[in-house]
A and B are shown apart, each in its own frame.
Chain A
Amino acid sequence: MSKWLNPRSAFGLTLIIVALLALPFVAALGGQAWVRILNFAILYVFLALGLNIVVGFAGLLDLGYIAFYAVGAYTYALLASPHFGLHWPFWVILPCGAAIACFFGVILGSPTLKLRGDYLAIVTLGFGEIVRIFMNNLNAPINITNGAQGITLIDPVAIGDLRFSTTTHILGVSLSGPQKYYYLLLALAILVIVINLRLQNSRIGRAWQAIREDEIAAKAVGINTRNLKLLAFAMGASFGGVAGGVFSAMQGFVSPESFSLIESIMILAMVVLGGMGHIPGVILGAVLLSILPEALRYGVGPIQMAVFGKMLVDPESLRMLIFGLALVLVMRFKPAGLWPSPERKRAAPAAGASHG
């Protein structure tokens, strides 16, 4: 841990903290829409790091991750909206959402324990769709999820009198709703980063990586692969559940549409493109993939006007075209991801003492 004390790292860290704290105010100069884009970027960082536990660490290809996000989102929506007339506070609901998503993680995990690779991907994909279809149809005979209409008027996050839906003034600084969510999300994201980092270099994290590398050898050294795979599913799912809860509160509205297969694929793409199993890479992947389509949304139209003087191609289709091309190019030229785990080289003999 002594590396944190060296002045250059300390300076860099301070700089990052200041930048992160100032970011929502800079983004607000371009309008609150940009703060919301930032918020989603952080939400995706959170989701991608949750999925990274399952895919990156334990090597279990999960294409239905969005199901846990949906479970968390609906848990929040049902417990804090006029739909059932319940208005629980968010710090009660978020752990509930995590626990319920965790339960679903185990439910999904247990039948897939013997599957690997493609087969696991297909089964998890199916599970993701099942959850969405359930949400879509659980409005009869008893109306639980309100079907395709979704649930509206979900309570925003509130701490005491501080409601996250409106603008407040603290010490002369005006703080908008999205800006407040930014800080909440940032805190949660830092928490999940720390958990990821600590798990990676732990007994459990090593066992996950061993399962990823060679399951038979992992069994032979005494790793209970069944329990550890379930643990990976459960942990990944809990993070998905928390993210879903925050999403619900932030949007004030959930419907099954938000939890389609493409969302699962996007989150997986963030993990894979960033650098599977490498935490900074996954963060980079999540930020880029969530911001790039939005930046293109705002950029493509004006650039066309400036260059050609008129709209040649519908900006909305061009945007996804460029986005797709970018993904293909990354996979072509950086197959291990944008920022993969460095191939560790033998440290200089003098540095060998750092093992103590």
Chain B
Amino acid sequence: MAEPLLQANHVAKHFGGVKALRDVSLRIGEGEIYGLIGPNGAGKTTFFNCLTGLYIPDGGGFVFAGQPLLADAPHQAAERGIARTFQNIRLFGNMTALENVMVGRHVRTCGGVWGAILQNSATRSEEAAIERRAIDLLHYVRIEERADDLAKNLSYGDQRRLEIARALATDPKLLCLDEPAAGMNHTETAELRELIDGIRRDGTTVLLIEHDVKLVMGLCDRVAVLDYGALVIEDVPAVVQKDQRVIEAYLGA
């Protein structure tokens, strides 16, 4: 494998006596779709939260695109090119779908207070570019019809798509999706699979937490399995599926 996009080195996190992550080391290559699976409470979301700066790891750290990732401020993770969605969707409910995606452009734009007040030409053209890009992204995830609806009024599936569009608006190198298929039916899951595949084809590496084993095994290039906060195995799906420890811990006999 070439230089990995993301290296997790011995990441550890505990909450009181509970060891949510113990010495987890992963390598995610550029352009991969990388699956992270495990039973409930295995530490998948904790891993996401450490990676995106919401938690500060108690040990170890991350190297992203060749540079260590400082774990102290979430907004820096987005700046470096790590975007995420949330297991329990977190949209800006009272803003429109379009505005939600426009907020995602915040980190790649620079308009300040004076620009906004004076409405100079630089601000106006940046604003227009933000809106164009946001509309394009709504097309990309196929919810352009809902652009002017408040995010809270969107259907569940559309909210998931909107969250992905908002994350993509930050121009991420790595997109982290936390159970995007949760609560979706077969058709929606199939569409989601197509969408994720498309995102990878367009050059963004994807890190996917998912419970839907069929989706993970069919979509991911490599899969890591967590159990009780520790890494069980990291390999291609075909190998992972046959691993005795994984079958016991997660897949079931």
Contact = CB atoms under 8 A, between A and B. Distances in A.
Interface in B25-54: 52-54
Nearest to A235: B113
B148 A346 contact: yes
A158 to B, nearest CB: 28
Nearest to B93: A213
Contacts of A355: 98, 131, 135, 147
Interface in A206-245: 206-207, 209-210, 213-214, 216-225, 231, 235
Interface stretch (B77-85, B194-202, B242-250): B77-85
Interface stretch (A5-13, A17-25, A196-204, A285-293): A196-204
Contacts of B113: 199, 204, 231, 235
A307 interface: no
Given A203-B106, A204-B111, A223-B107, A195 B117 contact: yes
Contact of B91 (A217, A225, A344, A346): A217
B36 to A, nearest CB: 17
A198 B118 CA distance: 8
A274 to B, nearest CB: 17
Nearest to A195: B117
Interface string A311-352: 000000000000000000000000000000101111100000
A220 B104 CA distance: 9
Interface residues of A, number: 33
B228 interface: no
B92 A210 contact: yes
Contact of B94 (A204, A213, A235, A347): A213
A256 interface: no
Nearest to B54: A216
B236 interface: no
B95 A217 contact: no
Interface string B108-141: 0101110111010001001100110001000000
A205 interface: yes
A345 B148 contact: yes
B148 A220 contact: no
Contact of A213 (B73, B92, B170): B92
A344 B150 CA distance: 7
Contacts of B148: 344-347
B75 interface: yes
Given A204-B111, A204-B112, A204-B116, A222 B92 contact: no
Contacts of A204: 111-113, 116
Contact of A344 (B53, B96, B103): B96
Contacts of B112: 203-204
Given A220-B78, A221-B169, A344-B96, A202 B91 contact: no
Given A203-B130, A219-B75, A209 B106 contact: no
Nearest to B166: A221
Contacts of A225: 75
Contacts of A346: 145-146, 148-149
Nearest to B101: A221
B142 interface: no
A207 B90 contact: no
B179 interface: no
A203 B116 contact: yes
Nearest to B145: A346
A209 B92 CA distance: 8
B227 interface: no
Given A219-B75, A346-B146, A202 B92 contact: no
A195 B98 CA distance: 23
Nearest to A200: B116
Contact of B75 (A195, A214, A222): A222
The 7 residue pairs across chains A and B that have the minimum distance between CB atoms: A222-B78, A222-B107, A202-B116, A213-B92, A219-B74, A217-B90, A203-B111
Given A213-B95, A216-B54, A222-B107, 13 more contacts: A217-B86, A217-B92, A220-B52, A220-B77, A221-B83, A221-B106, A222-B79, A223-B103, A224-B75, A231-B113, A343-B153, A344-B96, A346-B145
Interface of A: 194-195, 198-199, 202-207, 209-210, 213-214, 216-225, 231, 235, 341, 343-347, 355
16 contacts: A202-B116, A202-B127, A204-B112, A204-B116, A206-B95, A209-B92, A209-B94, A216-B74, A220-B54, A222-B78, A222-B106, A222-B107, A223-B106, A225-B75, A346-B148, A355-B135
